[in-house]
Amino acid sequence: MSYAQRKELSGNRTVSIAMTIAVVGSLMYAIVTGLAYNVIKKTAEQLKVIDVEQQPPPPEQPPPPPKDMPKVPPPPVTPPPLVQMNTPAPPTITTVVAPPIPPMAPPVIAPPAPPAPPPPRKTVSAQSARGDLRSLFSGDDYPASAQAAGAEGTARATLSISPSGQVVGCNITQSTGNSALDSATCNILRRRAKFTPARDSNGNATSDTIETPPIRWQLEG
């Protein structure tokens, strides 16, 4: 037998075995399936469905009537205690009576202060140390502006004399009508006038005021 023939026989055998297994398996499946169906059918026929009707519950019996019990009086009822409210006391109104106002005393008027004692009486007036005050002026004192204007006039002044005899104030009481002449009058008196101081009743030097004589300003020729 050649190799090809042996190979062909081996293949046919395998096919035959496979077919045999398939047929046997189909038979066994059919047998098992049929037996199981018959068993289930037979069991189902043997079962009987019995409808059980549920009986209603018996009616409740009423409770037996209570035996005669001795009558017990109800317990005494105590009324609840009254709640006392703390009511505030009404406010006390105190009337304050002001004491009577005493009559006003008349105002006390202080007596006027006593007048100051008068200064010591002046006994000696200030005197010009050089005599007549008009002697203090000369033609050279004529202001140039007044000369150019041809101004002339008479002046009077009030002089304030210190306790040392100096002229500390000059006030023109009569004007010449030219301001340059009036200013020159006071300037010369302040610089040149010297006085013997005035004396009071105690002999002490004191201040004084004097009136100058008329001082005439007149152009020469």
Where the chain has pLDDT below 70, the residues are 1-12, 15, 23-24, 26, 30-59, 62-74, 77, 79-99, 102, 105, 119-120, 122, 221
Using DSSP's 3-state secondary structure scheme, residue 37 falls into helix
Residue pair 119/134 in contact (Cβ under 8 Å)? The answer is: no
Residue pair 198/161 in contact (Cβ under 8 Å)? The answer is: yes
Contacts of 90 (CB under 8 A, 6+ apart): none
Distance (Å, rounded) from C-alpha 133 to C-alpha 135? 5
pTM of the model: 0.46
Residue 49's pLDDT is what? 46
Residue 14's pLDDT is what? 72
**How far, CA to CA in Å, does 74 sit from each of 67, 70, 97, 213?**
19, 12, 66, 144
Among 166, 153, 165, residue whose Cα is nearest residue 199: 165
Distance (Å, rounded) from C-alpha 144 to C-alpha 149? 9
Residues facing 125 on adjacent strands? none
Among 158, 172, 176, 157, residue whose Cα is nearest residue 217: 176
Distance (Å, rounded) from C-alpha 30 to C-alpha 38? 12
Domain residue ranges of the chain, discontinuous segments joined by +: 1-44, 122-217
Among 138, 212, 142, 215, residue whose Cα is nearest residue 180: 142
**76-126: per-residue pLDDT in tens?**
767 666 655 666 666 666 666 666 776 776 777 777 888 877 766 767 787
Distance (Å, rounded) from C-alpha 158 to C-alpha 135? 17
Residue pair 136/212 in contact (Cβ under 8 Å)? The answer is: no
- CATH dotted code for 122-217: 3.30.2420
